[in-house]
Amino acid sequence: MELKEYLKQVAFKVDCEADEYSKAVETRLREASSHLLNAGGKRLRPAMVMLSADAVRPGASEDVFEAALALEWLHTYTLVHDDIMDGDSLRRGEPTVHTVFGEATAILAGDCLHADAFEHICRVKNCEDKAKLVAVQMLAHASHELCEGQQEDISFEERDDVSEAEYLSMVRKKTGVLYAAAAGIGAALAGGDVRQIGAMYTLGLNTGIAFQIQDDIIDLLTPSDVSGKNQASDLRENKQTIVAVTAREMGVDLSKFHKADLSADEIAEAVSLLEGSGVLDAVRQKSEKLISDAKNGLSVIPDSEYKTMMMELVDFFISREF
């Protein structure tokens, strides 16, 4: 099977579960909780859970599907709350939850998704209790680290001297640990040994960091009608992304672009400046090294079509355009 078809199948299954979730209970809170889940998404975290499981034990993805849902529900919870804190009005081409249902209901909707994530992972069958405990611990650790990462990200808004090390630490918590949990949980529930679980966890962690680095690039380069988000929102808000940090360390001044009403011509000017100065190339090289290092650790995973697809998936994370 090709990776594209595998991802398509995973997305379809998750979409069906999201649809069922929205219909199971007809309350305003369930409608709010379902709003972003039903807006689609690439479903990459569930795919990483299932690919990791299949790479350790071919066919194990069927057994760990509830865990895959747990990762998507937890991820969606973070998006709902992040949109509130960031004041964003658009997500996946749809109005954000708090703009439709109000801030208080959106907070509660996120809390429900968080709780439901743990319920999903507890429903996993055909695995040892010890493996399930490890999986729940990984999910809980990721949940805590996500909050730490978000707090660090918020604190960066008041600074213009964030270092690359600080940025990478924040991204490791805010994005990396959820992909690490996805890959580690899949391996653990499939019966992987300590080395295999560790290799998959590291792969997910590095991939998550690289994913966020690519996200920072996408935010700058991709038009709103393609990404479903406001183009160059990070630049407008002077957000301390890896692009901003690298630009500052390379002596590139972006201060003239830090304004809400940035025009299309001004965005093009900023992109030209960052490309011409080598900033974007330097940023891309950072994510490519993360992926290369992570893939080297997969020697403890037996060769199979699923291992090959996992390596293709992490390559996709740094080549995708939206």
pLDDT digits (tens, 9 = 90+) for 51-86: 999 999 999 999 999 999 999 999 999 999 999 998
Give the model's pLDDT for residue 158: 85
Q: Where residue 17 sits, what CATH number does that domain have? A: 1.10.600.10
DSSP labels, 127-170: S-HHHHHHHHHHHHHHHHHHHHHHHHHHHHTT-S---HHHHHHH
Whether 228 is in a domain gets the answer: yes
Whether 121 is in a domain gets the answer: yes
Give the model's pLDDT for residue 160: 84
Amino acid at position 172, single letter: R
Domain that holds residue 287: 3-317
- How many domains does the chain divide into? 1
Whether 188 is in a domain gets the answer: yes
Stretches where the chain sits below pLDDT 50 are none
Whether 63 is in a domain gets the answer: yes
Give the model's pLDDT for residue 44: 94
Whether 270 is in a domain gets the answer: yes
Q: Cα(31)–Cα(109) distance, rounded to whole angstroms?
A: 9
Whether 322 is in a domain gets the answer: no
Q: Cα(107)–Cα(203) distance, rounded to whole angstroms?
A: 32
Whether 285 is in a domain gets the answer: yes
